[in-house]
Amino acid sequence: MKEINELSFPDDIRYAQSHEWARPEGDTVKVGITDYAQDQLGDIVFVEMPEAGETFEKGAEFGTVESVKAVSELYMPIGGEIVSVNPPLEDAPELVNNTPYSDGWMIEVKPEDPAQLDSLMTKDDYIKSLQG
């Protein structure tokens, strides 16, 4: 596993305590897991995601990610309706390991309350939480 300073944490996204990230893109928000989370999990072999059209509350489980080490639940960093899932992850779950903030995104959400983004951590807050 990498040291925290070897991992990537973009400034333009918000972070959940449960290691998901949320990036606003117009009136939707892309969601995935952080570089830290994928590094801790190891090689990802499967991602279970919801169907487009499903609605979840903030903090609700929306899927799972399976690695060679463990299966981990995925939680909604903000509440809303799933407008799309990332189709390539079905055949190439390793995209989450390789590029967690770009090709490795998991779901796109139409937020029920965009202000929920403000309750998520900034990059600096997230790094502090990891350093404990």
* Domain chopping of the chain, boundaries: 12-127
Mean predicted lDDT score pLDDT of the chain: 97
d(CA 122, CA 132): 15
- This prediction has a pTM of 0.97
Q: What is the mean pLDDT of residues 32-39?
A: 98
**12-127 CATH:** 2.40.50.100
Per-residue pLDDT reduced to its tens digit, 40-80: 999 999 999 999 999 999 999 999 999 999 999 999 999 99
Q: Grade residue 132 by pLDDT with cuts at 50, 70 and 90.
A: confident
Report the alpha-carbon angle 27-13-73, nearest 5: 95
